[in-house]
Amino acid sequence: MSGPRSGRRRGVALVPQPERARSIKLIGLGGVGSIVARYLTAFLASIDESTRLVLIDGDEFEPRNAERMLFSRCGNKAAVVRDDLLPLVEAESLTIAAVEEYATDENLARIVAEGDLVLLCVDNHATRKLVSDHCRGLGDVCLVSGGNDGVGEDGSGRVQRGTFGNVQIHLRRGGVDQTPPLDAFHPEIESPRDALPNDVSCTEALITVPQILFTNLATASAMLNAFFLHICAALSYPELCFDVAEGLMRPVPLPGVRLLEEASGGPSVAAQIRRRPQSPAAGELG
């Protein structure tokens, strides 16, 4: 299992820890999730370990998505990405399945189970809150959530330039939080002002905020980095913020969460993040 152990030890190789079987649930196959799925599949196919990757999304790829997403045809995002990836997978140890549904109160217990590793790539705080609350009720789970700002006004009226994003990791072992839930230091997730995708009207669903493709790519990379460190038992931070315009990507110190990097005399990173971390919700990640 992974805990607050430093992943920056020079000269020490990072090696994935073997497991009898690994179940990975990827929720949201939009701008970030579709990138995560492709590189994650390439990695999982390269290791000799029994793994089941489940792609989950109730949304559809449309022609307008082609500006910043790679897909072979229009249709349900989970099904299309699965079909795109299956011909590339020769490893018998890796299976890929698609669930053509949004995450909801009704299906979440079926979708996310004990021992799962969850990669949450959605664009709304309501779904982040829903999945975080569900994971709180599990004994053993690792939830990695990522998102980034869109370009323009967000839901609170703040103007964003689309270059900021963050990744949060909620890890539970033996029914105990090893890192904080997603809403612990994020009031925008604790009391979301948006709605679940399946609750949004057709008119509201057409209102989207443009995003920068390369910020999506930075978010996907940061999520995959956290995933890799976790399976190597070398994850040393519960949250990471970045801004591609500032050239910054740093762990965020959280109250009551002691990072070994700081404990060993490393520099504080709080001053290097220029504003209070906010989990981005704008855009069309899922």
pLDDT given for residue 271 in this prediction? 36
214 is in which domain, residue-wise?
A: 22-238
For residue 264, with 0-12 CB atoms within 10 Å meaning exposed, 13-18 middle and 19 or more buried, which class applies?
exposed
pLDDT of residue 273: 36
Is residue 7 over pLDDT 50? no
Q: What are phi and psi of 155, to 5 degrees?
A: -65, -20
pLDDT digits (tens, 9 = 90+) for 84-133: 999 988 878 899 999 999 999 999 999 999 999 999 999 999 999 999 99
Residue 258 maps to a domain: no
CATH number for 115: 3.40.50.720
In a domain, residue 173? The reply is: yes
Phi, psi of 185 (to 5 degrees): -120, 20
Examine residue 255 and state whether it is found in any structural domain, yes or no. no
Quick check: is 284 in a domain? no
263 inside domain: no
Tens digit of each residue's pLDDT (9 = 90 or more) over 48-74? 789 999 999 999 988 888 888 888 899
- Please count the structural domains in the chain: 1
